[in-house]
C-alpha cells in the first residue's frame, strides 16, 4: 500500500486538485484509492461532493482517537475511490493535540492499525494507494501527513515564487526523515498551473529539471479552466470534462505514478510488474515538453522597394537626420527581470542540518 503525501507550504498551487484527480485517474485504472483530507478548509471533501457535519466521523475524529479510520471513510461517485473527509472541527486539532504524547505519529498509527485489521480479516491490504492532501502550512497536520506517508510529492506552481520555498521544504522533509520517519522520501515533483506560452514558466520548469534530475514528472499539469470549474459541481475532471486537456494531463500523470509500483510488493503481486508506457513521455506540444525558443519570423522583401520621399529642403534634411539619430525614450527600454531564486541541490547531496536547527519549534520536539 503506497502512502503518498502531496505537500507545499504555499497555497493555491494545485495540491487539492491534484489529489482528487490523480486519485480518480488511479481508480479508473483499477486501483483502490483512499484520499485523506487534512485541511480544515475541507476543499478536498467539497471537491468530491461530501460534507461532513460537525461531530460526524472525519479526519478530526480519527486524529483525536474517537473513531477508527475505516468507520470514517466515505464512498465517492468514482468506483474504487474513497474519502476520509474533513470539516471545520479540524482547525482545533493542533491546539487539542499540542500536549499529546507522540502527536506527530497519530495518523500513521491509525493507518497501520487499519491495515493490520484488514489484513487479518481479508489477507490483503485495504487499499493500493493512500493520497494525503496536506494543508498549506508546515504545522502539526502536515507533519502528521508526512510521518504517515512513505513518499512525498511536492506540488509546484511554475512561477517565480514557487522556487522561493523549495529549499526550506526539502530541508523539512529531510529533517523529518532523519528524526521521525526514516522511510520518507521525495518520490517526485509535480509542476502545476503550467503555461507554455510564457517564457518564465518554461524557465522555472527548466530550473526544476536541472536541479532535480529524474525527480520531475515528465507531464506537467497545464492551466485549464475545466479544472477550475469542476469543484463547483462536486465532480472530478473525468466526470465534468473527460475530453479536456486537464483530464489528459492527470491520466498521463497516473500512468507515471503506476510506473513506480515496483517499489511495493503488494501492488506487484496484485497488478503485476509495471510496464513502461511510451504514452507517458511528453509530446512536443505537451505542457511538460521541452520547448525550443521560437525563431523570429522571416520578413519577405517586396519585389520593388518603395522609394523614400526626397527631402525638398536642407532644413527638412537636417530634421530627418536628427530624428533618426535621437536615442529611444527611457520608457521604451524593457525592465530587467530579477534572476530566478536558487533552489535546493540534488536531494542526495543535501548536507545534514546542524543539531541546533529548529524548523518546527511549535510542533516537533527535536
Q: What integer pLDDT is reported at residue 2 of this predicted model?
A: 95
- pLDDT tens per residue, range 187-208: 999 999 999 899 999 999 998 9
Asked which of 80-84, 109-113, 163-167, 176-180 is least confident by mean pLDDT, the reply is 163-167
Mean per-residue pLDDT for 32-41?
Answer: 96
Q: Where are the domains of the chain?
A: 2-292+337-345
Q: What would the pLDDT profile of 48-77 be if each residue is shown by its tens digit?
A: 999 999 889 999 999 999 999 999 999 999
Query: In terms of C-beta distances under 8 Å and separation of at least 24 residues, what long-range contacts does 118-125 make, across chains too?
Result: 118/70, 124/266, 124/270, 125/1, 125/266
pLDDT in tens, 257-308: 999 998 888 888 888 887 755 444 443 334 444 333 334 444 444 444 444 4
% pLDDT > 70, the chain: 75
pLDDT at 155: 95
* pLDDT-based confidence at residue 132 (cuts at 50, 70, 90): very high
The Cα–Cα gap between 184 and 232 comes to 34
The top-level CATH class assigned to 2-292+337-345 is alpha beta
Q: What is the pTM of this model?
A: 0.76
Cell of 136: 498549506
Q: Which stretches of the chain are assigned E, i.e. beta strand?
A: 2-7, 33-37, 74-75, 81-84, 129-133, 151-157, 185-192
Specify the pLDDT at position 340.
59
Q: Give me Rg for the CA atoms of the chain.
A: 26
Query: pLDDT-derived band of residue 138, with 50, 70 and 90 as boundaries?
Result: confident
Amino acid at each position: 500500500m503506497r502512502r503518498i503525501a502531496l505537500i507545499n507550504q504555499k497555497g493555491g498551487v494545485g495540491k487539492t486538485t491534484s489529489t482528487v484527480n490523480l486519485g480518480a485517474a488511479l481508480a479508473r485504472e483499477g486501483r483502490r484509492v483512499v484520499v485523506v483530507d487534512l485541511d480544515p478548509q475541507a476543499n478536498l471533501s467539497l471537491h468530491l461532493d461530501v460534507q461532513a457535519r460537525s461531530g460526524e466521523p472525519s479526519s478530526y475524529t480519527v486524529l483525536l482517537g474517537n473513531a477508527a479510520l475505516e468507520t470514517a471513510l466515505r464512498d465517492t461517485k468514482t468506483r474504487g475511490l474513497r474519502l476520509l473527509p474533513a470539516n471545520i472541527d479540524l482547525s482545533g486539532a493542533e491546539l487539542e493535540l499540542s500536549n499529546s504524547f507522540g502527536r506527530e505519529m497519530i495518523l500513521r498509527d491509525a493507518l497501520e492499525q487499519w491495515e493490520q485489521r484488514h489484513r487479518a480479516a481479508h489477507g490483503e491490504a485495504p487499499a493500493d494507494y493512500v493520497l494525503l492532501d496536506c494543508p498549506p502550512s508546515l504545522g502539526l497536520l502536515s507533519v502528521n501527513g508526512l510521518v504517515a506517508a512513505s513518499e512525498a510529492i511536492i506540488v509546484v506552481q511554475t512561477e517565480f515564487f514557487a522556487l522561493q520555498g523549495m529549499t526550506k521544504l526539502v530541508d523539512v522533509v529531510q529533517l523529518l526523515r532523519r528524526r521521525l520517519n526514516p522511510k520518507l522520501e521525495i518520490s517526485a515533483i509535480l509542476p502545476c498551473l503550467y503555461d507554455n506560452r510564457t517564457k518564465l514558466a518554461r524557465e522555472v520548469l527548466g530550473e526544476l529539471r536541472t536541479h532535480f534530475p529524474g525527480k520531475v514528472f515528465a507531464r506537467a499539469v497545464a492551466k485549464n479552466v475545466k479544472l477550475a470549474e469542476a469543484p463547483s459541481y462536486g465532480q472530478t475532471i473525468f466526470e465534468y470534462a473527460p475530453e479536456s486537456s486537464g483530464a489528459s494531463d492527470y491520466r498521463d500523470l497516473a500512468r507515471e505514478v503506476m510506473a513506480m509500483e515496483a517499489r511495493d510488493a503488494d501492488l506487484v503481486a496484485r497488478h503485476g510488474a509495471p510496464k513502461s508506457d511510451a504514452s507517458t513521455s511528453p509530446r512536443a506540444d505537451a505542457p511538460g515538453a521541452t520547448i525550443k525558443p521560437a525563431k523570429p519570423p522571416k520578413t519577405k522583401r517586396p519585389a520593388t522597394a518603395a522609394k523614400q520621399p526626397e527631402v525638398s529642403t536642407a532644413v527638412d534634411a537636417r530634421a530627418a537626420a536628427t530624428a533618426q539619430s535621437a536615442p529611444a525614450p527611457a520608457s521604451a527600454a524593457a525592465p530587467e527581470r530579477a534572476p530566478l531564486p536558487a533552489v535546493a541541490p540534488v536531494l542526495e547531496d543535501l548536507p545534514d542540518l546542524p543539531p541546533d536547527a529548529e524548523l518546527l519549534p511549535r510542533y516537533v520536539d527535536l
